[in-house]
Amino acid sequence: MKNILITGKNSYIGTSLEKWLMREPDKYKVDTIDMKDGSWEEKDFSQYDVVFHVAGIAHIKETSDNEALYYKVNRDLAYQTAQKAKQDGVEQFVFLSSMSVYGIESGSIEKNSPIKPNSAYGKSKIEAEELINKLQDNSFTVATLRPPMVYGKGCKGNYPRLARLALRTPIFPQIDNKRSMVYIDNLCEFVRQLINNRKSGLFFPQNAEYVNTSEMVRLISEAHDKRVQMTKLFNPLLRLLNVSIVNKVFGDLVYDMSMSEYESDYRVCGFRESIKRAETNYMKSR
Protein backbone atom coordinates (compact mmCIF):
# COMPACT_ATOMS: atom_id res chain seq x y z
CA MET A 1 0.00 0.00 0.00
CA LYS A 2 1.15 3.51 -0.83
CA ASN A 3 0.72 6.15 1.86
CA ILE A 4 0.24 9.57 0.26
CA LEU A 5 0.04 13.05 1.74
CA ILE A 6 -1.56 15.78 -0.37
CA THR A 7 -0.76 19.35 0.65
CA GLY A 8 -3.43 21.93 0.03
CA LYS A 9 -6.66 20.85 1.69
CA ASN A 10 -9.74 21.29 -0.54
CA SER A 11 -7.65 22.11 -3.62
CA TYR A 12 -9.30 21.05 -6.87
CA ILE A 13 -6.47 18.84 -8.14
CA GLY A 14 -5.66 17.46 -4.69
CA THR A 15 -9.27 16.54 -3.93
CA SER A 16 -9.71 15.02 -7.39
CA LEU A 17 -6.60 12.87 -6.96
CA GLU A 18 -7.75 11.68 -3.56
CA LYS A 19 -11.09 10.54 -5.01
CA TRP A 20 -9.32 8.90 -7.94
CA LEU A 21 -6.96 6.92 -5.73
CA MET A 22 -9.59 5.93 -3.20
CA ARG A 23 -11.36 3.89 -5.83
CA GLU A 24 -8.71 1.35 -4.80
CA PRO A 25 -8.62 1.65 -0.98
CA ASP A 26 -6.59 -1.54 -0.67
CA LYS A 27 -3.73 0.06 -2.65
CA TYR A 28 -3.68 3.65 -1.41
CA LYS A 29 -4.09 5.53 1.85
CA VAL A 30 -4.49 9.28 1.34
CA ASP A 31 -4.33 12.15 3.81
CA THR A 32 -4.61 15.87 3.09
CA ILE A 33 -3.21 18.76 5.08
CA ASP A 34 -3.99 22.47 5.23
CA MET A 35 -0.93 24.64 4.61
CA LYS A 36 -2.49 27.98 5.48
CA ASP A 37 -1.00 28.11 8.97
CA GLY A 38 2.19 26.70 10.45
CA SER A 39 0.61 23.60 11.97
CA TRP A 40 1.85 21.44 9.08
CA GLU A 41 5.40 21.87 10.36
CA GLU A 42 4.51 19.77 13.42
CA LYS A 43 3.09 16.90 11.39
CA ASP A 44 5.12 13.71 11.10
CA PHE A 45 5.76 13.04 7.39
CA SER A 46 7.69 9.82 8.05
CA GLN A 47 4.55 7.68 7.68
CA TYR A 48 4.19 8.67 4.02
CA ASP A 49 5.80 7.24 0.89
CA VAL A 50 4.80 10.24 -1.23
CA VAL A 51 4.07 13.93 -0.73
CA PHE A 52 2.08 15.52 -3.55
CA HIS A 53 2.47 19.28 -3.20
CA VAL A 54 -0.37 21.18 -4.84
CA ALA A 55 -0.74 24.02 -2.32
CA GLY A 56 -0.21 27.37 -4.00
CA ILE A 57 -1.69 30.61 -5.24
CA ALA A 58 -3.31 30.79 -8.68
CA HIS A 59 -6.34 32.28 -10.45
CA ILE A 60 -6.11 35.64 -8.68
CA LYS A 61 -5.15 38.89 -10.37
CA GLU A 62 -1.52 39.80 -9.77
CA THR A 63 -0.81 43.22 -8.28
CA SER A 64 2.20 44.95 -6.78
CA ASP A 65 0.60 44.36 -3.38
CA ASN A 66 0.33 40.56 -3.70
CA GLU A 67 3.48 39.85 -5.71
CA ALA A 68 5.52 38.94 -2.61
CA LEU A 69 2.81 36.49 -1.55
CA TYR A 70 3.31 34.47 -4.73
CA TYR A 71 6.95 33.89 -3.82
CA LYS A 72 6.16 33.21 -0.17
CA VAL A 73 3.60 30.54 -1.02
CA ASN A 74 4.50 29.13 -4.44
CA ARG A 75 8.27 29.10 -3.91
CA ASP A 76 9.22 29.28 -0.24
CA LEU A 77 6.42 27.12 1.15
CA ALA A 78 6.96 24.51 -1.56
CA TYR A 79 10.68 24.33 -0.81
CA GLN A 80 10.14 24.16 2.94
CA THR A 81 7.65 21.33 2.45
CA ALA A 82 10.11 19.43 0.26
CA GLN A 83 12.86 19.92 2.84
CA LYS A 84 10.65 18.52 5.59
CA ALA A 85 9.60 15.59 3.41
CA LYS A 86 13.24 14.69 2.81
CA GLN A 87 14.22 15.13 6.46
CA ASP A 88 11.33 12.89 7.55
CA GLY A 89 12.30 10.12 5.13
CA VAL A 90 9.64 10.48 2.43
CA GLU A 91 10.73 8.63 -0.72
CA GLN A 92 9.03 10.72 -3.43
CA PHE A 93 8.05 14.38 -3.72
CA VAL A 94 5.68 15.32 -6.54
CA PHE A 95 5.54 19.05 -7.28
CA LEU A 96 2.78 20.69 -9.30
CA SER A 97 4.35 23.42 -11.42
CA SER A 98 2.86 25.09 -14.48
CA MET A 99 3.08 25.77 -18.20
CA SER A 100 3.39 29.43 -17.15
CA VAL A 101 7.14 29.02 -16.58
CA TYR A 102 7.60 29.44 -20.35
CA GLY A 103 6.04 32.91 -20.26
CA ILE A 104 4.19 32.73 -23.57
CA GLU A 105 0.51 33.15 -24.39
CA SER A 106 0.69 31.67 -27.88
CA GLY A 107 2.94 29.35 -29.82
CA SER A 108 4.38 25.86 -29.51
CA ILE A 109 6.50 24.64 -26.62
CA GLU A 110 9.09 21.98 -27.34
CA LYS A 111 11.53 20.06 -25.17
CA ASN A 112 14.26 22.70 -25.41
CA SER A 113 12.05 25.79 -25.38
CA PRO A 114 13.49 28.55 -23.16
CA ILE A 115 12.15 29.29 -19.71
CA LYS A 116 11.08 32.95 -19.65
CA PRO A 117 8.31 33.50 -17.09
CA ASN A 118 6.70 36.94 -17.26
CA SER A 119 4.48 36.79 -14.17
CA ALA A 120 5.00 36.37 -10.44
CA TYR A 121 3.12 33.08 -10.72
CA GLY A 122 5.43 31.68 -13.40
CA LYS A 123 8.60 33.04 -11.78
CA SER A 124 7.70 31.66 -8.35
CA LYS A 125 6.99 28.24 -9.84
CA ILE A 126 10.28 27.91 -11.73
CA GLU A 127 12.27 29.15 -8.74
CA ALA A 128 10.53 26.53 -6.60
CA GLU A 129 11.40 23.85 -9.17
CA GLU A 130 15.08 24.81 -9.08
CA LEU A 131 15.27 24.74 -5.29
CA ILE A 132 13.40 21.46 -4.91
CA ASN A 133 15.43 19.67 -7.58
CA LYS A 134 18.60 20.35 -5.58
CA LEU A 135 17.22 18.10 -2.82
CA GLN A 136 17.03 15.02 -5.01
CA ASP A 137 19.35 12.10 -4.26
CA ASN A 138 19.20 8.30 -4.25
CA SER A 139 16.74 8.23 -1.35
CA PHE A 140 14.61 11.26 -2.30
CA THR A 141 12.93 11.29 -5.69
CA VAL A 142 11.54 14.51 -7.18
CA ALA A 143 8.92 14.55 -9.94
CA THR A 144 7.78 17.89 -11.39
CA LEU A 145 4.61 18.34 -13.43
CA ARG A 146 4.05 21.25 -15.82
CA PRO A 147 0.52 20.61 -17.01
CA PRO A 148 -1.36 22.88 -19.39
CA MET A 149 -4.84 24.09 -18.44
CA VAL A 150 -6.62 21.54 -16.25
CA TYR A 151 -10.38 21.25 -16.66
CA GLY A 152 -13.26 19.21 -15.33
CA LYS A 153 -16.20 19.41 -12.97
CA GLY A 154 -15.60 22.01 -10.27
CA CYS A 155 -12.40 23.43 -11.72
CA LYS A 156 -11.40 27.08 -11.55
CA GLY A 157 -9.93 29.39 -14.17
CA ASN A 158 -10.78 29.83 -17.83
CA TYR A 159 -12.82 26.67 -18.41
CA PRO A 160 -15.81 27.58 -16.19
CA ARG A 161 -15.82 31.09 -17.67
CA LEU A 162 -15.95 29.61 -21.16
CA ALA A 163 -18.66 27.15 -20.07
CA ARG A 164 -20.83 29.96 -18.73
CA LEU A 165 -20.36 31.88 -21.97
CA ALA A 166 -21.27 28.81 -24.01
CA LEU A 167 -24.60 28.56 -22.21
CA ARG A 168 -25.44 32.23 -22.60
CA THR A 169 -24.40 33.18 -26.10
CA PRO A 170 -26.37 32.19 -29.22
CA ILE A 171 -23.40 32.93 -31.48
CA PHE A 172 -19.66 32.29 -31.15
CA PRO A 173 -16.58 32.85 -33.36
CA GLN A 174 -15.45 29.85 -35.39
CA ILE A 175 -11.68 29.87 -34.99
CA ASP A 176 -9.30 27.14 -36.07
CA ASN A 177 -6.94 27.16 -33.08
CA LYS A 178 -5.15 24.55 -30.97
CA ARG A 179 -4.71 24.46 -27.20
CA SER A 180 -3.01 21.91 -24.97
CA MET A 181 -5.29 20.94 -22.10
CA VAL A 182 -5.60 18.03 -19.71
CA TYR A 183 -8.83 16.59 -18.36
CA ILE A 184 -8.70 16.08 -14.60
CA ASP A 185 -9.17 12.28 -14.78
CA ASN A 186 -6.28 12.01 -17.25
CA LEU A 187 -4.08 14.06 -14.93
CA CYS A 188 -5.06 11.99 -11.89
CA GLU A 189 -4.29 8.75 -13.69
CA PHE A 190 -0.93 10.15 -14.74
CA VAL A 191 -0.08 11.00 -11.13
CA ARG A 192 -1.24 7.57 -9.99
CA GLN A 193 1.15 5.89 -12.43
CA LEU A 194 3.92 8.31 -11.45
CA ILE A 195 3.49 7.30 -7.81
CA ASN A 196 3.28 3.59 -8.55
CA ASN A 197 6.55 3.65 -10.46
CA ARG A 198 8.29 6.21 -8.21
CA LYS A 199 9.30 8.21 -11.25
CA SER A 200 11.53 11.26 -11.15
CA GLY A 201 12.06 14.07 -13.63
CA LEU A 202 10.02 16.63 -15.53
CA PHE A 203 6.63 15.69 -16.97
CA PHE A 204 4.09 17.26 -19.35
CA PRO A 205 0.78 15.38 -19.17
CA GLN A 206 -1.88 16.49 -21.65
CA ASN A 207 -4.86 15.10 -23.53
CA ALA A 208 -4.19 12.90 -26.53
CA GLU A 209 -5.60 15.59 -28.84
CA TYR A 210 -5.33 19.37 -28.98
CA VAL A 211 -8.43 21.34 -28.11
CA ASN A 212 -10.18 23.75 -30.48
CA THR A 213 -11.91 26.51 -28.51
CA SER A 214 -14.90 26.74 -30.85
CA GLU A 215 -15.39 22.97 -30.74
CA MET A 216 -15.21 23.04 -26.95
CA VAL A 217 -17.94 25.69 -26.79
CA ARG A 218 -20.08 23.68 -29.20
CA LEU A 219 -19.71 20.49 -27.14
CA ILE A 220 -20.50 22.29 -23.87
CA SER A 221 -23.68 23.71 -25.41
CA GLU A 222 -24.57 20.32 -26.84
CA ALA A 223 -24.20 18.69 -23.41
CA HIS A 224 -26.87 21.08 -22.14
CA ASP A 225 -29.16 20.48 -25.14
CA LYS A 226 -28.46 23.96 -26.44
CA ARG A 227 -27.27 25.07 -29.85
CA VAL A 228 -24.75 27.80 -30.55
CA GLN A 229 -24.26 29.22 -34.04
CA MET A 230 -20.63 29.36 -35.17
CA THR A 231 -19.55 32.24 -37.42
CA LYS A 232 -16.33 33.49 -39.00
CA LEU A 233 -17.74 37.03 -39.20
CA PHE A 234 -15.72 38.25 -36.21
CA ASN A 235 -12.45 36.55 -37.16
CA PRO A 236 -10.77 39.58 -38.83
CA LEU A 237 -11.48 41.71 -35.74
CA LEU A 238 -10.16 39.05 -33.37
CA ARG A 239 -6.92 38.82 -35.36
CA LEU A 240 -6.43 42.58 -34.93
CA LEU A 241 -7.08 42.48 -31.19
CA ASN A 242 -3.69 41.33 -29.97
CA VAL A 243 -4.68 41.40 -26.30
CA SER A 244 -4.12 38.85 -23.57
CA ILE A 245 -7.69 37.65 -23.15
CA VAL A 246 -8.15 37.09 -26.89
CA ASN A 247 -4.87 35.18 -27.11
CA LYS A 248 -5.80 33.00 -24.14
CA VAL A 249 -9.11 32.04 -25.70
CA PHE A 250 -8.44 31.95 -29.43
CA GLY A 251 -4.66 31.72 -29.83
CA ASP A 252 -2.58 28.58 -30.29
CA LEU A 253 -0.70 27.37 -27.23
CA VAL A 254 0.51 23.78 -27.24
CA TYR A 255 3.10 21.40 -25.96
CA ASP A 256 4.66 19.35 -28.73
CA MET A 257 2.70 16.09 -28.41
CA SER A 258 5.88 14.00 -28.26
CA MET A 259 6.66 15.57 -24.86
CA SER A 260 3.56 13.96 -23.38
CA GLU A 261 3.97 10.39 -24.60
CA TYR A 262 5.02 7.92 -21.91
CA GLU A 263 5.37 4.17 -21.50
CA SER A 264 1.91 3.68 -20.01
CA ASP A 265 -1.25 5.23 -21.40
CA TYR A 266 -2.78 7.61 -18.88
CA ARG A 267 -5.43 9.12 -21.18
CA VAL A 268 -8.47 7.37 -19.75
CA CYS A 269 -10.93 9.79 -21.35
CA GLY A 270 -11.02 11.42 -24.78
CA PHE A 271 -11.84 15.09 -25.31
CA ARG A 272 -15.45 14.73 -26.47
CA GLU A 273 -16.29 12.35 -23.64
CA SER A 274 -14.50 14.56 -21.09
CA ILE A 275 -16.75 17.52 -21.90
CA LYS A 276 -19.83 15.32 -21.71
CA ARG A 277 -18.78 13.99 -18.30
CA ALA A 278 -17.85 17.39 -16.92
CA GLU A 279 -21.02 19.09 -18.06
CA THR A 280 -23.35 16.21 -17.20
CA ASN A 281 -21.93 16.14 -13.68
CA TYR A 282 -22.19 19.92 -13.62
CA MET A 283 -25.91 19.78 -14.38
CA LYS A 284 -26.51 17.15 -11.68
CA SER A 285 -24.71 19.26 -9.11
CA ARG A 286 -26.69 22.45 -9.67
State the total domains in the chain. Answer: 1
Q: Is residue 261 part of a domain?
A: no
Q: Is residue 81 part of a domain?
A: yes
Interatomic CA distance for residues 236 and 105, integer angstroms = 19
Q: In percent, how much of the chain has pLDDT > 90?
A: 80
3-state DSSP call for residue 43?
coil
Domain of 61 in residue numbering reads as 2-146
Count of positions (residues) in the chain: 286
Q: Output the CA–CA distances (angstroms, integers) from residue 189 to 23, 182, 196, 265, 273, in the order listed.
A: 12, 11, 11, 9, 16
Q: Is residue 51 part of a domain?
A: yes
Is it the case that residue 274 has pLDDT exceeding 90? yes
Is 115 within 8 Å of 101 (Cβ atoms)? yes
Q: Domain containing 29 — which CATH number?
A: 3.40.50.720
Q: Is residue 67 part of a domain?
A: yes
The average confidence (pLDDT) of the chain is 92
Q: Is residue 125 part of a domain?
A: yes
Q: Is residue 231 part of a domain?
A: no
Q: Is residue 223 part of a domain?
A: no
Q: Is residue 30 part of a domain?
A: yes
Is it the case that residue 250 has pLDDT exceeding 90? no
Mean pLDDT across the stretch 169-181? 93
What digits encode the pLDDT tens for the residues 92-151?
Answer: 999 999 999 999 988 999 999 999 999 999 999 999 999 999 999 999 999 999 999 999
